[in-house]
Structure formats: C-alpha cells, structure tokens
Structure 1
Amino acid sequence: MAGFSQGGAVALHCAYRILQQPLAGVIGLSTYLLNSGEPANATNLAQTPLLYLHGQRDDVVPFRLGQHACAALSELGVSLTAYQHAGYHEVPASCLELIQTWLSERLP
C-alpha cells in the first residue's frame, strides 16, 4: 500500500489502525500521521515495514511532520526505512530507484 500527501496519511492509518492483517509493506511519500483516537494494531505495527520519503523543503506537508511520523511509528515498533531529499512536495526521479529496490526486497 502506498500514498502521497493526504493519500499517504490514509495509507498509514489503514495499515496500522484499520486493517486486520499485516501487509508486505507501506510506502509513505511526503505525508504525516492522522490524529486518531483509534488504537494501533500491534501485529501490523510489528509486521508491516514502512518506506518513508519526504522533501526537506516541502511547503505543503512540512518536513517536521514527517519527522514526527517516523519517530512515533519507530517508537511503536514499526520497521522503518526513511529517506529525505532536498526537494519540495514531490517524489523526485532519484527516489524511484529507492522505491523499486525496497519493493523488490519485499514482494515476490
């Protein structure tokens, strides 16, 4: 499951709070955590890895919100791979290879 911006927030919410089964992985792109009172699914937290990418100069979803999301999910036990790029609210071509490699390591 993957999402960019608000779609990423929904993907993270579904993967770690809504779904009843772990996923092969989640990709969050320039995103943040939704403020929700729903408890996290401990199994999904432990078994669904996350690839997180965010631009340091993002003026739509501030970079600090991404840092907060990564810190919070790491504290909850998510296996997290995080990358930052020098760009804005975007997925630069340089990140596509990172995404492809991460996916190929997790999907048959």
Structure 2
Amino acid sequence: MSHQWRTEETFQAAKGLAGLDEHQVRRWTSWHRWVTLAMLAHAFLAAATAHEHDHRPVPGELIPLTCNEIRHLFAALGITIRPAAHHLGWSTWRRRHQARSRACHYERQAAHQR
C-alpha cells in the first residue's frame, strides 16, 4: 500500500470519525484549532483501538473494537441517560452480531467459489 493511499484513507477516516470536515472556515486561527482538535481526536481513537487489539484478547464470537465503536461508546457514555452497563452491553451485542455476519458472509463466499 502506498503512502499516498494510506494518507487518503486516514484523512477520510478523520473526516467521518472526528468531524474534520465540519468546520466553516472564516479565519485561519479557528481553522487551525479545529483541525488540530479533530486530528488529536482521531489519533486518540486510533491509539485506543491499537491498544485494545494488543492488550485485550477478543473472544471468538466478537469482532475487535474499532475506531467507530470506541467513538460511539464515548459519545454514549458522555451524554448518558442510561447506565454505562447498558451501552457496554449494546456494544457487545452489536460486535457479536457483526462477527456472526462476517462468518456467514465468508462461508457464503467460500461456497460460491467452489
């Protein structure tokens, strides 16, 4: 994978996950602050995801935590009406469902290729 492609993917991810493209530019200073904050948020999500993948074994029926899932959990836990256990349980259910979907998709692809 080329460096340019990796940079483009990272930029697209930052736009979607950290709101990099949601600032209306009026002054350079405000744009610089916004971009710095968005890139810092994206770096935090990427580092948290990498840490989870390295230090927490994932049971076979769950997919590993992704940047998007960590962002979702932070948003849900930051503005919470329900207890944290509810949000964590929902995340576990969603990741288990995604793992089952992925396994079924791979089985269907393998059956199609035979």
State the TM bucket, normalised to the shorter chain. Answer: under 0.3
| Larger strand proportion of the pair | 1
Please tell me whether Structure 1 or Structure 2 has the larger radius of gyration of its CA atoms: 2
* TM-score, with length taken from structure 2: 0.23
| Larger helix proportion of the pair | 2
